[in-house]
Amino acid sequence: MRNKFFLSIIVIVFFASCKKSFLDKVPPSSLTSEIFFKTASDFNLATIGIYDVLQGRSYSESSWALMEMSTDNTYTNAPAGAFGEIWYQVEEFRVLQDNAHLNNQWQFSYRAIGRANTVINRIANVQFAQTLKDQYEGEALFLRASMYFNLVRLFGDVPIVLEEQSVLNSFRISRQPVADVYRQIISDLTAADIKLPLAYTGNDIGRATRGAAKAMLGKVYLTQKNYTEAAAKLREVIALGRYNLLPNIVDVFRASNANHAESIF
């Protein structure tokens, strides 16, 4: 009994004598947004992380389903089980609210938007070459605009999130009118058009370019039936002199012919 008593006293004295700084440590194996962003390399990795959402199966598959299954470009046979049913709903224009494609498109779009916001909100506070700052910020703006362009065409009014959010605060964000969403898309793409480089080399080929921003903005104007602005912006794409039609249309879709002269993004 006496041993237990003395052990309790030792434990109490130990914790009473510890300073808060001794216990308040960031786990060395964990990286958070608060301690990560210190160099150009950190922002490069964060920007690549935005692209990562696009190549994920959940996002890419839902994009294809919601944007192509409802057209004559793609079709599916009668459903075989629950998996086939969510595709068939889109083709027949009877999408139910629990359709997984809707959930995936919403969830992963805002995941990419959140990652883009982190880059955009934090990049001004770290010192490194301005050309790289412009590139990474331009890419984040372009990708954020791309997400919103898909969201507004699929869902109409959607929340406009431009700052990093806590989990609690995210529940308080309301949907905004379509006109406001398009206004933000145009603002992001206009800024990206100025900041992005014309082209890349090596492993960076495939990242968003100035031509991609101009082309996307032209498509946005076309969607709004603003044909004058669309024509002007798309002429800028042609004037870059970097894109041409391939002689053989099969080469456009050949897997071994990636990033060819018709490929803008």
For residues 127 and 130, give the distance between their C-alpha atoms in angstroms, rounded to a whole number: 8
Q: Is the pLDDT of residue 216 over 90?
A: yes
- What is the average per-residue pLDDT within 179-208? 96
- What is the average per-residue pLDDT within 177-203? 96
Q: Is the pLDDT of residue 60 over 70?
A: yes
Domain 38-257 has CATH 1.25.40.390: yes
- What is the average per-residue pLDDT within 34-58? 88
- What is the average per-residue pLDDT within 115-123? 95
pLDDT at 73: 84
Q: Is the pLDDT of residue 241 over 80?
A: yes
Model confidence, pTM: 0.83
Least confident of 67-71, 141-145, 199-203: 67-71
Residue 136's nearest CA partner among 23, 260, 44 is 44
pLDDT at 237: 96
Least confident of 75-79, 99-103, 172-176, 248-252: 75-79
- Residue 241 Rama label (left phi>0; alpha psi -120 to 50; beta): left
Average pLDDT, the chain: 86
CA-to-CA separations, 26 to 16, 21, 23, 29, 36, in angstroms, rounded: 21, 11, 9, 9, 12
- Give yes or no for a contact between 195 and 39, defined as CB atoms under 8 angstroms apart: no
pLDDT at 32: 56
Q: Give the phi and the psi of residue 40 in degrees, each rounded to 5.
A: -60, -40
- What is the average per-residue pLDDT within 58-75? 85
pLDDT at 30: 52
- Give yes or no for a contact between 75 and 64, defined as CB atoms under 8 angstroms apart: no
Highest mean pLDDT among 17-26, 51-60, 96-105, 224-233: 224-233
Q: Is the pLDDT of residue 243 over 90?
A: yes
pLDDT at 80: 63
Q: Per residue in 124-147, is it b (16+ CB within 10 Å) or e — as a string?
A: eeeeeeeeebbbbbbbbbbbbbbb
- Give yes or no for a contact between 214 and 231, defined as CB atoms under 8 angstroms apart: no
pLDDT at 33: 56
Cα angle for residues 162, 168, 172 (degrees, 5° grid): 60
Higher pLDDT, 170 or 18: 170
Higher pLDDT, 201 or 19: 201
- Give yes or no for a contact between 48 and 54, defined as CB atoms under 8 angstroms apart: no
Strand partners, 176: 158
- What is the average per-residue pLDDT within 26-44? 71
CA atoms within 13 A on the CB side of 209: 17
pLDDT at 11: 47
Residue 258's CB: how many other CB atoms inside 10 A?
9
Confidence of residue 20 (pLDDT cuts 50, 70, 90): low
